[in-house]
Structures are given as C-alpha cells and as structure tokens.
Chains A and B, each alone.
Chain A
Amino acid sequence: MSTKSKVMAEQRSAIRCVNVGKTWGAGTDRAVEALRQFDLEVGKSEFIVLLGPSGCGKSTLLYLIAGLEDLTAGEIESHGKVVYGPDSDRSLIFQESSLYPWLSVIENVTFGLKLRGMAKTERRGIAVELLNKVGLGGFEEKRPDELSGGMRQRAAVARALAMEPSVLLMDEPFAALDVQTRSKLQDFLIQIWRDSQASVMFVTHHIDEAIALADRVVVFTARPGSIKSIVPIELPRPRDPREPKLRDLRDELIDLLADEVDRAFAEQEQISEKNQIRA
C-alpha cells in the first residue's frame, strides 16, 4: 500500500458504499438487477473513475449516491452519515447540459444560492467569480442555447460548484463533446478538482479518459454491476498518454473490460431475442 492511500484510509471517507444493491422494477416481471453487493470507499479529495460497459450500473450508482433513487439493498454513507435523499453537498453533473434554458448563464449558476435565500448581490458575486474560474467570464448574461456544448458543461460545473459540494458526481459529462473539446475539459476538470478539494466520481466508458483523470479506476463487471477490479494510477498529472507506464495500464484496462463488454453484449442480444419471442 502506498503512503498516499494509507493516509486516505486513516481519514474518514467521503463516500462509503456497503453491500449496495439496486434492482429496477423490483417485484415485477421486468425487474432488472443493476447493482449487486457493491462495496466502495471514496477518500476525501479523491478522483475516482467508474469504468465499465454500457448498462453495467455505473450511472445507477451515481444516482443512488446522489440520493435521487432508493437502493434496494445495503447502505450508502456520505461523511459518516447515511444518505436518504438528495443534498447539495453531493452534486450531480449530467451527460447532456441540464441548464435551464429560460435562465441566463448567471441565473443558472445562482439558482441554488437563490433557493437558499442568499442576497442577490452576494450570490452574483460568487457566480461571477466561478464563471471566471471556468473560463466563462463575460458570458454571464448569455442564454444557454447561445453557448457551445463545452461551454454549457462548464457552466453546469460552475452551477454545481456554487453549492460548494464535497462530492462531485459526474455522469459521462463530456460524452456528447468532440475529442478536442473533451481533452480540454479534462484538463479543466483536473484544475477545478484541485482547487475545490472535492471528491470526484466520474463515470465513463472511455479508457483514455479514465487514465487521464483517475486516482483509482473502478472497473465494473457487466450487469448486475459489481467491482471487477480497482486499478490505482499513481502518476502525476497532466499525463502523457505515450508514457510506457500508462500504455501498460491501458492494456491492463482493455483486458479487464474486454470480457465484460462481451458479456454485456451477449446479454443484450439475449434480451432482444426474448423480446422478439414475446412479441
């Protein structure tokens, strides 16, 4: 065990999942078991990437941690407290921009602060500072549909940061973006993460993205999702993907994923066959 992970084990963890299970539509004939016996501890300020084939329950886990869905087994703790519902301390950033199109950028960022009853000048001050930080200074009064996809996601990050969360949950936030924008936003995210001291749980099915970002990569099995393997990446950032160590890691992750992708694929074919028979 490295010194870094020892230190983290001593701290109380930011998120603790104990034996978590989730079955969608439990008790019906369409029940789908998304997660089974999932155990994970996320340290304070740790950057975790959840990697796995599509439909393996990565996003489900995020929704459970966010408190937006109820789990069907086990328990999730955040800073030692059991999670019962959503809380601004655990912010979720979605795949597509979820900015409110009827509000300007700055009104979007201050939305949560306004709900808290913060005075207008104060919340605008915070928002302007955050927008500068995410590189959207001068775009305060624009409407979301006037921004590019990458800028919208930055605004969504600013909106989440306004609530000063200790955990940032990110559900494939860059999946809809082109490769160049994506790599820019990855650098940007690393910077934001360092400044904010928040723990990040980042869902992706891109191995390169996982390698570029993670302290630890959690590889999922196919559905029902559980942990196949946890791969620590103890290399300084920014990381050069051509570095031999990273290439070995990538090979390792490709091997780990390959079986699960095959299994997920086979299962999906089975399901579609079943549906055809039903129909």
Chain B
Amino acid sequence: MSRGAKVRIRPTRFSKFAGESIWWVASVALFAGIWEFCWYMGWANPMLLPPPHIFLQDILLAGKLFDKSTRLGNPTAGVIVWTVVKTIGASTLRVVIGLSIAFVGSLAVGMAIRFSPYFGRLILPVVNLLAPISPIAWLPIAMLIFGLGNAPAIFLVYIALFFIMTLATLSLIDNLPIAYLQVARIMGATRLQIFLQVILPAILPGLFVVLRLNLFAAWMIVLIAESVGVGGGLGLVVIISRNTFDAQLAFFTMFIIGIVGFFLDIVLREIQRRVLYWAP
C-alpha cells in the first residue's frame, strides 16, 4: 500500500457544524414526530398537549398575549414581534446582568478570602450557611427590599450564583498547580502580584465553566421571579398561560425559553473559546 493512499481530511469548521446539525435535526424531528403521531392517532388531546404544528402555527396570536398593551385590539404583526422581542430581551438582560454581577462579586470575595486569612475566617462561615438556602426562599425578601421591576429578578439570579461561585473560586484557588505560585515566588512576586497576575488569570477559565454550568439555573430562577410578578418577562407569560388555561401559549413560551437558553449557552461557550482559551 502506498503511503499517500489514505489522505485524512481534517474536518473544517463548516463540515463539523454541518455534521452536528444533522444529528440535531434528527433528534428534534424524532421527538416532534412522536408527539405529532400521538396527536394524529388521537392519543394526545390538542387542548392539553398541542403538538408543535399547532402551537407554532399562529405565532402572532400567541405573541399578542405577551403583553397587556397588545392583548386587546388589533396590533400589527410588527408591533407583536417587537413585543415578543422586548419580553425575551427583558428576561435575558436580567439573567446577563445577574450573572455578570455574581461572576465579579464571587471572584472578588473568593480571592479576598484566600488573600487575607482573617477575612476568610470571618466570612467563610456565613457563606457556608447561606449557600444551601434556595434562591426561592430569598424571593419574598427580594420583593420586600427591591419592590417590583428588574432589581429583584437580578438580585435572585445573583443570589442563586454568588455562593456557589464563591465556593468554586476557593476550590479553584486551592487546586492550582503549585508550580504556578512557586515560579512567581522565585521571580520575586509579592503576595498581591501573585494574586492579581497569577491566581486571577489562572482561575478565570475554570470559574467561567462554573458560570456556564449555572446559566440554566439562573435562567430558571429569573422565570420564577417573573412568574410571581416582579414585572414582565417570559415568566409572566407562563403565568398568563396558566391563568387562561392556554396550553398553546404555554408550549409556545416553553419553546422560546428553550431556544433562548440554548443560544445563551452558545454565546458563553464562544466567549470562553475566544477570550479564555487557556481553559483546562
């Protein structure tokens, strides 16, 4: 056999993407197909479990219900789409802001705990006590303190992530390759220089992975906050669908929640790949 006979073609980004997409389509099609089949056979009541072709057939009708201002009357398609986009945007923004504050806050507190042993001893017990409290339990407090609107929703996202990520920061610091620190010490770095120039960049990718893993938790929390009425967002639409027994609207909203969560994850993954390329 000649050596050049088998040329292995390295997959390009596009062909890789195409290959993955096929499986995506197959997976979703299988799930939707079974659902549609059950509807076709009459096993699934379309009032309770409307299959995709029903809850997606009248997007404008569903979209109309997204906001008080469009619910009555005959808004144009453009207005409805804009309302839907605004609703999605409101939820997304709350998640993104909450995530960002939690990321920076837990990084700062975690590093401060390891930087100053006294500060650590003073703070860590409280962190450990507050960490297991479900963010749902914080909900009344959030509304009492922040009232309605964006602030309580952002606060809940922050609370959901802050303690977990503070503890993750500590664990990441403790598990750094000790050689990283020793090299810096030999080079004459001060403690502050070691923390800012070695430990901080060394743990950033790992902490970002923790952030990504908790994205879905944050995405759930914001919906819960919105559904109890902190004002607007996709969570409110879910509750509207419940109050009006509108399964079609419920599934349509779930569809959007899934898609947006999925794309948020892709965005975070891309940030990680491009900015924090030294991830382990």
Q: Does B79 contact A (CB under 8 A)?
A: no
Interface residues in B176-217 by Cβ distance below 8 A to A read 177, 179-180, 182-189, 193, 197-198, 201-202, 204
Q: Are A68 and B182 in contact (CB under 8 A)?
A: yes
Contacts of B262 in A (CB 8 A): none
Cβ-neighbour of B188 out of A87, A143, A145 (below 8 A): A87
Give Cα A106 to B183, complex, Å. 16
B side interface size, CB within 8 A: 19
Give Cα A115 to B278, complex, Å. 22
Q: Are B201 and A91 in contact (CB under 8 A)?
A: no
| Chain B nearest Cβ from A66, distance in angstroms | 6
Q: Are A115 and B189 in contact (CB under 8 A)?
A: yes
Chain B residue with the shortest CB-CB distance to A108:
B183
Q: Does B277 contact A (CB under 8 A)?
A: yes
8 contacts between A and B (CB under 8 A): A86-B185, A92-B186, A111-B187, A115-B188, A115-B197, A116-B188, A163-B186, A163-B187
Chain A residue with the shortest CB-CB distance to B183:
A98
Give Cα A147 to B243, complex, Å. 61
Q: Are B278 and A145 in contact (CB under 8 A)?
A: yes
Give Cα A85 to B201, complex, Å. 25
Contacts of B187 in A (CB 8 A): 88, 111-112, 115, 163
20 other A-B residue contacts (CB within 8 Å) besides A68-B182, A115-B184: A66-B182, A68-B185, A68-B186, A86-B185, A86-B188, A87-B186, A87-B188, A88-B186, A88-B188, A91-B186, A92-B183, A102-B201, A111-B183, A112-B188, A115-B189, A115-B197, A143-B277, A145-B278, A159-B183, A163-B187
- Chain B interface (Cβ < 8 Å from any Cβ of A): 177, 179-180, 182-189, 193, 197-198, 201-202, 204, 277-278
Give Cα A85 to B278, complex, Å. 30
Chain A residue with the shortest CB-CB distance to B190:
A115
Give Cα A103 to B278, complex, Å. 9
Q: Are A98 and B185 in contact (CB under 8 A)?
A: no
| Chain A nearest Cβ from B191, distance in angstroms | 12
Q: Does A101 contact B (CB under 8 A)?
A: yes
Q: Does A123 contact B (CB under 8 A)?
A: no
Q: Is the interface of A mostly helix, strand, loop or mixed?
A: loop
Contacts of A94 in B (CB 8 A): 179, 182-183
Q: Are B278 and A102 in contact (CB under 8 A)?
A: yes
Interface residues in A42-99 by Cβ distance below 8 A to B read 66, 68, 85-88, 90-92, 94, 96, 98
Instruction: Determine the interface band of chain A, counting residues with CB < 8 A from chain B.
Output: 20 to 34
| Chain B nearest Cβ from A182, distance in angstroms | 20
Give Cα A145 to B182, complex, Å. 20
Chain B residue with the shortest CB-CB distance to A92:
B186
Contacts of A143 in B (CB 8 A): 277-278
Give Cα A100 to B181, complex, Å. 10
Top 7 A-B pairs ranked by shortest CB distance?
A112-B187, A101-B278, A98-B179, A102-B201, A102-B278, A86-B185, A86-B186
Give Cα A20 to B214, complex, Å. 50
Chain A residue with the shortest CB-CB distance to B278:
A101
Give Cα A86 to B186, complex, Å. 5
Also in contact, A100 and B201, with CB within 8 A (given A68-B182, A115-B193, A145-B278)? yes
Give Cα A94 to B277, complex, Å. 23
| Chain B nearest Cβ from A65, distance in angstroms | 11
Give Cα A122 to B182, complex, Å. 25
Give Cα A134 to B264, complex, Å. 45
Contacts of A163 in B (CB 8 A): 186-187
Q: Are A100 and B188 in contact (CB under 8 A)?
A: no
Contacts of B189 in A (CB 8 A): 115
Contacts of A115 in B (CB 8 A): 184, 187-189, 193, 197
Interface residues in A96-134 by Cβ distance below 8 A to B read 96, 98, 100-102, 111-112, 115-116
Contacts of A92 in B (CB 8 A): 182-183, 186
Contacts of A98 in B (CB 8 A): 177, 179-180, 182-183
Give Cα A102 to B177, complex, Å. 14
Contacts of A145 in B (CB 8 A): 278
| Chain B nearest Cβ from A209, distance in angstroms | 21
Cβ-neighbour of B180 out of A68, A100, A116 (below 8 A): A100
Give Cα A163 to B277, complex, Å. 28
Contacts of A102 in B (CB 8 A): 201-202, 204, 278
Give Cα A206 to B193, complex, Å. 37
| Chain A nearest Cβ from B83, distance in angstroms | 44
Chain A residue with the shortest CB-CB distance to B187:
A112
Contacts of B182 in A (CB 8 A): 66, 68, 86, 92, 94, 98
Contacts of B201 in A (CB 8 A): 100, 102
Q: Most chain-B Cβ atoms within 10 A of its Cβ — which of A87, A98, A100, A102?
A: A102
Contacts of A101 in B (CB 8 A): 278
